[in-house]
Amino acid sequence: MIQAKGYAAQSPTNDLAPWDFERRDVGAHDVQIEILYCGVCHSDLHQITNDWFEGIFPMVPGHEIVGRVIKVGDHVKNFKVDDLAGVGCMVDSCQQCDNCKQDLEQYCLEGNTQTYNNLDRSGVPTYGGYSNTIVVREEFVLHISDKVDLAATAPMLCAGITTYSPLRFWKVGKGHKLAVLGLGGLGHMGVKWGVAFGAEVTVLSTSPNKEQAAKDLGAHHFVVTSDKEQVKKVKGTFDFILDTVSAEHDMHLYLSMLKTNGTHICVGAPPKPMEVPVFDLLGGRKSVAGSGIGGIKETQEMLDFAAEHNIACDVEIIDIKNITASYERMVKGDVRYRFVIDMATL
């Protein structure tokens, strides 16, 4: 076994603290990565507090991993020692079902293996990126360009692909009016992709003081959703709403902003079910949809597109010792837009 160190929550009521643990040895098809940076996703906090479901403890969170390859198995074809590499939200899938065969491993019919808080296919708990090293089968490791900012690239592995994939699937681009609901880790990437794909982008937010930040990211318009006059002006105007909010919200309000045939795409995950007024859907043939991360092939395409177009996350680099304080700031929305742990501080 490989000795690893990281930060773990020992139970859903414990703060994260240093923890030594073991990773599997590098198998024939595995890549071992020395982790350099790991992004802090809002879902990390949801999971260590059992907000969504009962977790597996001790839990080492982190699924926005960038690092350097330090060892490869005998049958590894696409990676060599010293390559830059990334790992996102999943580390395995069945590789045989209809979805896996179509490069949709995130929707594996047997369930994909999550990077942490999951059991791998041999029944051993997976541990995430708040650690110094990780072993992952080669098919689930991404190539990272040596021209990019590594810290700013780490959150692309979750926040980046989660917003890229639906905009590509629904072919959002020139001639479309796209609204991005919420301006956090996901939302700020939604704005960047929307602009890069040629859409006319509006940020919908409850806080008027985010307008300048939205414009700085390239958004064309900004609407304060608590302002009745501003809301009235955008009624029936958007082709798509990319909904990144992971708390309960008023679907009637947002569905009223969609055009006929418009689609409301959920990528945030509120813990409780939300009410969707069906009358709002009937009156305009509207859809409510959801999308989860992206397949490995598409994640690589996203990373390559981002490197080519100089797109990355806006990040604040932190010392891992400050992780609990950073969670408190994240909950208040006091981060632009993603914390990234510098693993040299471990």
Residues that bind Zn ion (CB under 5 A): 41, 43, 93-94, 97, 100, 108, 158
Minimum distance, C-beta of residue 219 to Zn ion, in the bound complex (Å): 22
Minimum distance, C-beta of residue 307 to Zn ion, in the bound complex (Å): 20
Output the DSSP codes for 207-242. -GGGHHHHHHTT-SEEEETT-HHHHHHTTT-EEEEE
CB closer to Zn ion out of 257 and 330: 330
Q: Say how far apart CA 216 and CA 311 lie, in whole Å.
A: 14
Q: Where are the beta strands (DSSP E) in 30-64?
A: 30-40
Minimum distance, C-beta of residue 55 to Zn ion, in the bound complex (Å): 15
CB closer to Zn ion out of 72 and 313: 313
- DSSP assignment, residue 119? B
CB closer to Zn ion out of 48 and 72: 48
CB closer to Zn ion out of 99 and 225: 99
- Contact by Cβ (8 Å): 223, 202: yes
Minimum distance, C-beta of residue 53 to Zn ion, in the bound complex (Å): 15
Phi first, then psi: what are they for 8, rounded to 5°? -135, 155
CB closer to Zn ion out of 132 and 246: 246
What are 23's two structure tokens? Answer: 């990773």
Minimum distance, C-beta of residue 255 to Zn ion, in the bound complex (Å): 26
Q: Say how far apart CA 153 and CA 142 lie, in whole Å.
A: 12
Placement of tokens 């307008």 in the chain:
211
